[in-house]
Each structure stands twice: as C-alpha cells, then as structure tokens.
C-alpha cells in the first residue's frame, strides 16, 4: 500500500510537471504570434501573400471624348507599357503594325479649324476615307490612345516647341487638332506665318512651331511652291537663332530636319565657302549633302549636350516620302488606300543615307548627353511612317483638283500627311514616351 501511494505521488508530480511545461510552451507560442502580428502591422506588410500589382496596375481606359470631360482637374494616371510584359521587360513602342481602328480619328476636318489647306484632304475632295480607320499597335504591349484631357493636365504651366521644317508644322497641327475641343488661341506668328505660337489659357500651356528647316543658319531663296532663284547659303558653324534664342524657355522640344539638305547649297564656315552640293558652274568643291548633314547635326547635338537644358528634348528622325513610279517632278504618284506590311516597301537610298547619319550622330551624342544630365531622346518615326503610303494628300493638296478636268495635271504631295491621318498616331507614341520619362 505504501509503495502504491509512493508511485501515485511520483506520477502526480510527473503529470504536474508536464502540465506546467505545456502551459509554458503555449504561452511562448501566444507571445510569438502576438509579436508577429504587431511586427507586420507596424511596417505595413501582411503575413498573407499579396500581389502588389493589384494596387499599382492601371487598366487602360477607353479614349475619353473631351466633349464629355468636365473642366475640373483630372488625375494624370497613365498605364506603363512595361507592365504589359513578363519579367518587367520594356516594350518597344516603335515595332508593331497598323491595325484597324473602327472608332476612327479623334477629330475631323470640320471639328478642327487649324488644318492648313494643303493637308485638309477631306475638304479638298479626297474620295476615299479608309486611311482614317487605322491605329499604330506595338507588338509586345498595348499603346494607350492619346487622351487630350490628361495631356493638358500633365502640361499645365508648361511650354512645347516643334522645331524644323514643314513636317514639324504638319505635326503641330495634328497635336493642336487632338486638343481642339480645348480651344487654342494663336498668340504669335512671324511675317510669313511659318513660325507660330498657341496658348491654352485654362492650363497656361503653350505650343510653338519654329520654322528652321536646316537648324543651322541658312539663307533660302525660294517661293511658296519651292521654286528657287538662287542656291541655299548654309553656315555649318552657326546655329539658327530663331530657335536657340528661345531654347531655355521650353519644357519640351521636338527637333528635326532632313529633306532640305538635299537641295542645292553652298556651305560656309567662318564666312568662307568650303564647297557645295550640286552647284554646277560655281568653281567650288563638291562636298555632297552627306557632309553638310553630318556636320550640321553634330553641331546641333553638341550645342544641346552643353546647354544645361533641364527639360525633355526629342530628336525626331526624318520621315520618308512615298512617291512611286517617279518623283514629284517626274510623274511620281501615291495612290494607295491602305497601310502596307513590313517588308513590302524599302526605304529609298537617299532616305537610308539621311537615316544612317541621324542614328550615328544621335548615338554618339546620347552618351555624352546622359553624362551631362541632359534628357535627350530619339523619336524614331521612320519605320511606322514607311508603312503608311496611303496617308498623303497626293493630288488633294489642291481643292477639288479634278472638278473641271478629270485629266488635270497637278503637283502631287506624297511627303506631308493628311489631317486627320497617320501622323496623329505619332502623338500616341510621343505621349507614352513623355510619361515613361
């Protein structure tokens, strides 16, 4: 009996000890769990696995009609192209295809009064309208369509300038027409109406176009139809003050040139003739347009690199014409009515030369610009423009050219772009590049 009581006492002590041990273990677990919850809350994490992209990813909105958007401020919230790709890869906005766009253009030639007559193809009687129903689509991501209201909010108290030749003037009309429901007021023009400035009062936003076809200083002797009375006199060591004097007043710039360098010209440095391009009978060394284009671009880009410019500047590549079966002076035409596919048309040799020079000079400049803290970007629109031979005025740069004579001989325009037209998609690309920074 005594042995049995002694054994029961040992068992009781053992159970008591185990009971205390369990209590201690449970207490430790409870304290640990409380600390874990407190810790995660204090640093903003959740112990449950989450997908942060659910909060950050923005679903692209459909194009907003500016007629329906109130004047109040709209948050600027653009989707990033890179979010559409796996592993955070960056989308190349300029590799893609033209795809059908049943909704058509964002404006019409009747809703925008800023279209110059030569680009107003519908008013001038162009019979087909299929060229209006396409949009540019990168192959690896979605490109949001230009949203006028958001663009204006982003550009509040800012100033843009497009600097170059008549393609820049063509492009500025496209931008203004995309914003046309928020009426721009013209506040400046030069004597020939080639350089202009518009202001959007509600946003204190200005858009300028500055006529400077060579970017360097040049004396030009030709009329509105391009008929010259003397050779161009180009100074390769002097920049055109029409844009350099205003350079630091702009927050964004698009600079471009190209086709004008194919014109007959005499080249100067230190006010002394170096040579020329295609100037027969002048007793000057034939240097060729490549020499002038390379040196002029290098001088322009070196100025930009050293400028301490704090905004964003785009260098736009030159865009091709689409004269087929000849040139503008030898019966060339542009009668296509749809975009083409990659590989169906090659760049002409002259365009390849211009483009090779542009890319080579930009590549050299870009590294130096980055080192100097200048935000210089390449706006390479050559490829997407090559695929749109259907987008030019052709004979319809003139008002109803065949109304009186179906066989009338008229000057065709297979270089500039109808408005509305393919050039409007340039603004989709441009806007995304601005947002991407």
Does a cis peptide bond (omega within 30 degrees of 0) precede residue 231? no
In whole angstroms, give the CA distance from residue 401 to residue 404. Answer: 8
Please identify which of the residues 118, 165, 166, 392 carries the catalytic annotation.
166
Q: Is 416 tagged catalytic?
A: yes
Q: What is the CA radius of gyration of the chain?
A: 32
**Do 365 and 304 meet the contact criterion of CB atoms below 8 Å apart?**
yes
Q: Is 166 tagged catalytic?
A: yes
Please identify which of the residues 165, 416, 424, 425 carries the catalytic annotation.
416
Q: How far apart are the first and last CA of the chain?
A: 92
- CA 309 vs. chain centroid, Å, equals 19
Please identify which of the residues 165, 413, 424, 428 carries the catalytic annotation.
413
Q: CB atoms < 10 A from the CB of 251, how many?
A: 18
Lay out the sheet containing 272-277: strands in order across: 216-219, 232-239, 265-269, 272-277
Catalytic residue set: 166, 413, 416
């Amino acid at each position: 009996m005594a042995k049995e009581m002694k054994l029961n006492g040992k068992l009781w002590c053992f159970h008591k000890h185990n009971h205390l041990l369990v209590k201690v273990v449970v207490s430790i677990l409870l304290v640990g769990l409380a600390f874990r919850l407190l810790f995660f809350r204090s640093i903003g994490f959740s112990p449950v696995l989450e997908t942060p992209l659910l909060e950050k990813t923005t679903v692209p909105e459909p194009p907003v009609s500016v007629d329906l958007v109130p004047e109040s401020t709209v948050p600027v919230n653009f989707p990033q192209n890179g979010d559409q790709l796996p592993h955070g890869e960056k989308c190349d906005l300029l590799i893609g295809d033209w795809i059908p766009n049943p909704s058509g253009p964002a404006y019409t030639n009747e809703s925008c009064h800023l279209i110059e007559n030569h680009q107003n193809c519908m008013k001038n009687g162009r019979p087909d309208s299929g060229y209006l129903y396409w949009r540019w689509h990168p192959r690896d991501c979605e490109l949001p369509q230009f949203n006028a209201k958001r663009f204006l909010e982003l550009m509040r108290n800012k100033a843009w300038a497009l600097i170059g030749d008549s393609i820049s003037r063509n492009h500025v009309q496209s931008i203004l027409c995309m914003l046309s429901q928020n009426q721009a007021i013209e506040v400046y023009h030069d004597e020939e109406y080639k350089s202009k400035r518009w202001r959007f009062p509600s946003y204190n936003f200005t858009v300028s176009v500055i006529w400077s076809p060579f970017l360097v200083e040049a004396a030009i002797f030709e009329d509105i139809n391009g008929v010259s009375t003397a050779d161009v006199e180009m100074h390769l060591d002097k920049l055109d003050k029409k844009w350099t004097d205003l350079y630091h007043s702009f927050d964004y710039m698009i600079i471009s040139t190209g086709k004008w360098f194919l014109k007959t010209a005499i080249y100067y440095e230190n006010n002394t003739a170096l040579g020329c391009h295609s100037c027969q009978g002048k007793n000057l060394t034939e240097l060729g347009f490549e020499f002038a284009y390379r040196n002029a671009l290098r001088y322009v880009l070196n100025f930009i690199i050293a400028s301490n410019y704090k905004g964003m500047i785009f260098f736009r590549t030159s865009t091709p014409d689409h004269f087929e079966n000849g040139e503008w002076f030898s019966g060339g035409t542009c009668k296509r009515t749809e975009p083409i596919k990659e590989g169906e048309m090659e760049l002409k040799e002259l365009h390849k030369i211009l483009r090779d020079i542009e890319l080579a000079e930009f590549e050299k400049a870009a590294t130096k610009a980055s080192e100097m803290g200048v935000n210089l970007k390449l706006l390479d629109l050559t490829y997407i423009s090559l695929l749109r031979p259907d987008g030019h005025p052709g004979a319809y740069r003139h008002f109803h050219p065949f109304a009186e004579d179906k066989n009338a001989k008229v000057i065709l325009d297979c270089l500039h772009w109808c408005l509305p037209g393919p050039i409007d998609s340039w603004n989709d690309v441009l806007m995304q590049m601005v947002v991407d920074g």
